[in-house]
């Protein structure tokens, strides 16, 4: 297939591009580089032997995106492009609604116009809100606590409504749990600028002595050790899920959780990182972070049944690959 990957120089997008190429697909990337670097293309080439065609274009710019559809014939679209910082979305909601929703609307409109009938969308476990774990795809979606989460729920709705009246247009909605880790080459991964919001990037900066100590947000949750429980998934396993999702997309709307199905606490992740990399991570317990829930993990059985997909990488792999990437990108 010839696949348009929006956000393909980003964290999950770049790993997915590598797996798409390995599976024999051609890739065209569109990214405005608001949260990624052009050098990622060279790294993708080093890993896969192929430098994908790249357009430095914003997905909210309909005319410029349409120009790309006029130059290429696509069999499918994988739409990663979006802003993703939960806290920032609370302070600049309009920027998040505009960027994430207009991008999804533009790409869907062009998919219909140019008869690109396979559309895979990056959603998030955040759409489940706070309900009983494990989360399964047939559960109702609850309002999230932030505009970012709402852009995911709204994008899902836009795509479902579009697919329901356009019979040839098939949509796969992938709800990611907590992606972490990096490519085993150490070439691509995630290393945010400034102070990270998410746990694994924070741990890797403490390990690298760029930050002095990890703050653990609360140890009084109703979880085995009192700290928050999440479902961490290695980004390479996640990337492979996208390849299967687009290759096997046949129903009008398919929704899959992409997670390991295992709940891991903050302290368990911290200990795994220490064990995997033989580095001590200093930490202190502080107040809960506003908007956090106690537990989030997947019922991942549907993706296994329908796509034959499951995770293979362990928590130790996630920690080792994260550290390898952090060290090689000092």
**Is cis: bond before 134, omega within 30 of 0?**
yes
Burial zone of 70 (CB within 10 Å; 0-12 exposed, 13-18 middle, 19+ buried):
exposed
Q: How far is the CB of 103 from ligand WQD (least distance, A)?
A: 15
Residue 11, contacted partner among ligand NAD, ligand WQD, none, CB below 5-8 A by kind? ligand NAD
Q: Does 106 bind ligand NAD (CB under 6 A)?
A: no
Residue 215, contacted partner among ligand NAD, ligand WQD, none, CB below 5-8 A by kind? ligand WQD
Residue 40 CA to residue 32 CA, distance in Å, equals 13
User: Beta-carbon neighbour count of residue 106 at 10 Å?
Assistant: 21
Q: Does 60 bind ligand NAD (CB under 6 A)?
A: yes
Binding segment for ligand WQD among 19-27, 53-61, 288-296, 301-309 (CB under 6 A)?
Answer: 288-296
Residue 256 CA to residue 306 CA, distance in Å, equals 9
Q: Does 146 bind ligand NAD (CB under 6 A)?
A: no
Q: How far is the CB of 195 from ligand WQD (least distance, A)?
A: 9
User: Beta-carbon neighbour count of residue 245 at 10 Å?
Assistant: 24
E strand residue ranges, 88-177: 118-124, 170-176
Q: Which C-beta is closer to ligand NAD: that of 59 or that of 307?
A: 59
Q: Catalytic residue at 217?
A: no
Region 211-250 residues binding ligand NAD, contact defined as CB under 6 A: none
Nearest Cα to Cα of residue 100 among 168, 41, 157: 157
Q: Does 147 bind ligand NAD (CB under 6 A)?
A: no
3-state SS assignment for residue 35: coil
Residue 207 CA to residue 322 CA, distance in Å, equals 11
Q: Does 32 bind ligand NAD (CB under 6 A)?
A: yes
Nearest Cα to Cα of residue 6 among 48, 42, 55: 55
Residue 208 CA to residue 241 CA, distance in Å, equals 30
Q: Does 40 bind ligand WQD (CB under 6 A)?
A: no
Q: Does 296 bind ligand NAD (CB under 6 A)?
A: no
Whether 311 and 237 have beta carbons less than 8 Å apart is answered as yes
Residue 82, contacted partner among ligand NAD, ligand WQD, none, CB below 5-8 A by kind? ligand NAD
Q: Which of 55, 96, 148, 176 is catalytic?
A: 148
Q: Which C-beta is closer to ligand WQD: that of 44 or that of 233?
A: 233
Residues that bind ligand NAD (CB under 6 A): 6-7, 9-13, 31-36, 58-60, 80-84, 99, 103, 122, 124, 176, 179
Q: Which residues are catalytic?
A: 148
* Chain contacts with ligand WQD (rule: CB under 6 A): 84, 86, 124, 126, 178, 197-199, 202, 214-217, 228, 230, 266, 289, 292, 296
């Amino acid at each position: 297939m010839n696949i348009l990957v929006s956000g393909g120089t980003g964290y999950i997008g770049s790993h997915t591009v590598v797996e798409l190429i390995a599976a024999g697909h051609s890739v065209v990337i569109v990214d405005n580089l608001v949260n990624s670097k052009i050098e990622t293309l060279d790294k993708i080439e080093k890993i896969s032997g192929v430098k994908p065609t790249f357009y430095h274009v914003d997905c909210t710019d309909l005319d410029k995106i349409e120009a790309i559809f006029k130059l290429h014939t696509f069999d499918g679209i994988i739409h990663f492009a979006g802003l993703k910082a939960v806290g920032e979305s609370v302070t600049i909601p309009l920027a998040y609604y505009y960027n994430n929703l207009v991008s999804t609307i533009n790409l869907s409109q062009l998919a219909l116009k140019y008869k690109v009938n396979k559309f895979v969308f990056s959603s998030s476990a955040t759409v489940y809100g706070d309900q009983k774990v494990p989360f399964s795809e047939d559960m109702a979606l609850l309002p999230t606590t932030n505009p970012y989460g709402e852009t995911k729920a709204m994008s899902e709705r836009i795509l479902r409504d579009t697919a329901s009246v356009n019979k040839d247009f098939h949509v796969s909605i992938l709800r990611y749990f907590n992606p972490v880790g990096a490519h085993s080459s150490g070439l691509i991964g995630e290393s945010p600028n400034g102070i990270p919001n998410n746990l694994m990037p924070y741990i890797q900066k403490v390990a690298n002595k760029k930050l002095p100590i990890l703050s653990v947000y609360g140890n009084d949750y109703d979880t085995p050790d009192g700290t928050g429980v999440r479902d961490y998934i290695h980004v390479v396993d996640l990337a492979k899920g996208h390849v299967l999702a687009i290759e096997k997309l046949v129903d009008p709307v398919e929704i899959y959780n992409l997670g390991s199905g295992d709940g891991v606490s903050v302290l368990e992740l911290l200990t795994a990182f220490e064990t995997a990399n033989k580095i001590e991570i200093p930490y202190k317990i502080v107040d809960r972070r506003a908007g956090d829930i106690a537990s989030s993990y997947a019922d991942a059985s549907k993706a296994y049944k329908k796509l034959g997909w499951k995770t293979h990488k362990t928590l130790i792999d996630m920690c080792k690959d994260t550290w390898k990437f952090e060290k090689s990108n000092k």
